[in-house]
């Protein structure tokens, strides 16, 4: 879909940062992989469903053009209704353009054990693409979201029109476009997962989406969460011609033990990486009281 390709075709102007903890860093360095979590288990309770309103509005605008059969419009609207209610098979790893952001430290790490890992965008994208992952910028602006949703929905309707309906005289209405639309539900879910509530705008987020689709579970693993098991898949970070991972930087989050933490971290990174990343400390004056 062209609208989605345009979104995926964008590239960050600088590094991207992944906020995490020491066990995750050790997994990245020692196993050459990071984890992408099933989008339904992320900490934003409106993941996927927040995009329903602008997508429904886009379907309504398409209906008003009178270009499409009513049955197709209704089936497309039903597809949008199902976003967030069914497992879309989307696995995501989150990154920020800002490597030292208070809201990120608070939301994604524990005080004293948080890390911000910096990746050179090209290296990250190449390694991820080799494994079938795609990088997408998150959308926060209302007008940009509306325009992107309209372009995607119109393209989806045009594709479904080309495929045509399934006719079953036993049903009413007898023509159904569900089968034609179903082939693109993964793409629509990916678009929905790139649309964020403006309240998260400061995060300036980018996402790596995994290739696992609904019904394909061979690569899915599970880890312990606060309230349930969390499904995830691994993203290999080593390029095919490299035995080790390249990291651009590692930043220690707010901590009262910065000296000791920096010393141990430097020794660990020197042993496990193919390059020498910048080692930094957060400038955010935050502590738990």
Residue-by-residue DSSP string for 111-175: TTTEEEEEE-HHHHHHHHHHTT-EEEE-B--HHHHHHHHHHHHHHHHHHHHHH-PEE-TTSSSSE
Query: How many CB atoms neighbour CB 111 within 10 A?
Result: 14
pTM for the structure as a whole: 0.89
Pairwise CA distance, residues 137 & 274, whole Å: 28
Residue 159 token pair: 């594709």
- Asked if 243 and 235 touch (Cβ cutoff 8 Å), the reply is no
Residue 126 token pair: 């190449």
What pLDDT score does 101 carry?
94
What pLDDT score does 56 carry?
97
What pLDDT score does 214 carry?
46
Q: Is 249 exposed, middle or buried (0-12, 13-18, 19+ CB in 10 A)?
A: middle
What pLDDT score does 288 carry?
61
DSSP 66: T
pLDDT tens digits in sequence order for the chain, 289 residues long: 788 888 888 888 889 999 999 999 999 999 989 999 998 888 777 888 899 999 999 999 999 999 999 999 999 999 999 987 777 788 999 999 999 999 899 888 887 789 999 999 988 888 878 888 889 999 999 999 999 999 999 999 999 999 998 877 566 666 789 999 998 988 999 999 999 999 889 999 999 998 655 445 568 999 998 889 999 999 888 766 666 778 999 999 988 788 899 999 999 998 877 778 999 999 988 666 5
What pLDDT score does 76 carry?
96
């Amino acid at each position: 879909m062209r609208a989605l390709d345009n979104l995926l075709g964008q590239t960050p102007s600088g590094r991207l940062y992944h906020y995490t903890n020491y066990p995750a860093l050790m997994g990245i360095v020692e196993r050459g992989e990071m984890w992408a979590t099933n989008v339904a288990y992320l900490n934003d309770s409106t993941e996927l469903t927040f995009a329903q309103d602008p997508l429904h509005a886009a379907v309504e605008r398409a209906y008003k053009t009178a270009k499409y059969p009513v049955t197709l419009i209704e089936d497309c609207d039903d597809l949008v209704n199902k976003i967030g209610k069914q497992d879309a098979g989307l696995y995501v790893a989150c990154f920020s353009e800002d490597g030292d952001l208070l809201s990120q430290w608070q939301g994604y790490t524990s005080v004293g054990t948080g890390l911000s890992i910096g990746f050179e965008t090209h290296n990250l994208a190449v390694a991820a693409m080799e494994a079938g992952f795609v990088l997408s910028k998150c959308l926060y602006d209302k007008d940009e979201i509306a325009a992107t949703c309209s372009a995607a929905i119109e393209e989806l309707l045009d594709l479904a029109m080309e495929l045509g309906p399934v006719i079953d005289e036993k049903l009413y209405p007898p023509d159904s476009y569900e089968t034609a639309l179903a082939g693109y539900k993964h793409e629509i879910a990916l678009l929905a997962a790139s649309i964020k509530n403006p309240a998260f705008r400061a995060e300036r987020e980018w996402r790596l989406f995994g290739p696992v689709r609904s019904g394909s579970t061979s690569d899915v693993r599970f880890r312990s969460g606060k309230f349930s098991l969390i499904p995830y898949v691994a993203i290999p970070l080593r390029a095919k011609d490299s035995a080790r991972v390249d990291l651009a930087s590692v930043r220690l989050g707010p901590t009262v033990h910065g000296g000791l933490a920096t010393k141990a971290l430097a020794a660990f990174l020197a042993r496990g990486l193919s390059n020498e990343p910048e080692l930094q400390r957060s400038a955010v004056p935050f502590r738990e009281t």
